[in-house]
Amino acid sequence: MSLRVLGVDPGLTRCGIGVLDSAGGRRATLVAAGVVRSVSEDAIDARLLAISRGLRAAIEEHAPDVVAVERVFSQNNTSTVMGTAQVSGIAILLAAERGIPIAMHTPSEVKAAVTGYGRADKKQIQTVLVKLLGLEAPPKPADAADAVAIALTQLWRGPGPVRLDSTGGARTSAQTRWAEAERAARRARESSTSRF
């Protein structure tokens, strides 16, 4: 059975998204890659709303089984960390509302999973993605490639969902029904498309 992962590289100006389907063993197929953008001159509420709408659309279009988000880590630039954390929270919330499990991976975990080296640079990651996924070129911009790498990390090394609440992340019955209906609809669409 195929597993679909939506990888999210959180960012306030450009939030990378990458969708992969497992293809058995250590193989994966790229479904989609891109970025959700916000206008840097806009107020923070408008920017977060734009990112939220884009992430919601991606989740609804691709109906992932898991959402993997890059874990926010400390940097010198506090405003960048705040924006990244806020976008990360949006991705987690949107998945939780739909009963989709969440996983988080640090940048070094992603680098190690994809390249075998925890200090690989972006170019090395992109080169490996091209080879592993059979692409002609890496996903662009770099934020999209990072999101694909996060999704691939989850497929290969996913430790499972992060606890979403004090009960261990248990879904409500409504969340479970929504998630099951979304996955059933996606599989039905894919099944009808593959017949032609």
As annotated, the active-site residues are 9, 70, 143
Distance CA 168, CA 171 (A): 9
Q: Is 65 part of any known ligand binding site?
A: no
Q: Give the pair of three-digit tokens for residue 14.
A: 């450009």
Residue 180, judged by CB atoms within 10 A of its CB (0-12, 13-18, 19+), counts as exposed
Rg over CA atoms, the chain: 16
Angle among Cα 167, 173, 174 to the nearest 5 degrees reads 120
Q: Is 143 part of any known ligand binding site?
A: yes
Q: Is 70 part of any known ligand binding site?
A: yes
Q: How far is CA 166 from each of CA 13, 34, 161, 162, rounded to the nearest angstrom?
A: 32, 34, 14, 11
Binding residues for Mg(2+): 9, 70, 143
Binding residues: 9, 70, 143
